[in-house]
Chain A
Amino acid sequence: EAGVAQSPRYKIIEKRQSVAFWCNPISGHATLYWYQQILGQGPKLLIQFQNNGVVDDSQLPKDRFSAERLKGVDSTLKIQPAKLEDSAVYLCASSLSPSGSETQYFGPGTRLLVL
Chain B
Amino acid sequence: KQEVTQIPAALSVPEGENLVLNCSFTDSAIYNLQWFRQDPGKGLTSLLLIQSSQREQTSGRLNASLDKSSGRSTLYIAASQPGDSATYLCAVVSGSARQLTFGSGTQLTVLP
Contact = CB atoms under 8 A, between A and B. Distances in A.
A105 B32 contact: no
A100 B93 CA distance: 6
Interface string B1-13: 0001000000000
A108 interface: yes
B44 A44 contact: no
A104 B89 CA distance: 13
B46 A104 contact: yes
B32 A101 contact: yes
Interface stretch (A14-22, A35-43, A67-75, A76-84): A35-43
A112 interface: no
A106 B100 CA distance: 13
Contacts of B49: 103
B98 interface: yes
Nearest to A95: B100
A100 B45 CA distance: 17
Nearest to A105: B46
A87 interface: no
A42 B43 CA distance: 12
Interface in A88-106: 91, 93, 98-101, 103-106
A4 interface: yes
Contacts of A91: 43-44
Contact of B98 (A40, A93, A100, A108): A100
A32 to B, nearest CB: 13
Nearest to A43: B102
A48 interface: yes
Contacts of A98: 97-98
B46 A42 contact: no
A113 interface: no
Contacts of A42: 4, 89, 91, 102-105
Interface of A: 4, 33, 40-45, 48, 55-56, 58, 91, 93, 98-101, 103-109, 111
Given A93-B44, A107-B43, 5 more contacts: A33-B100, A42-B102, A99-B31, A101-B31, A108-B42
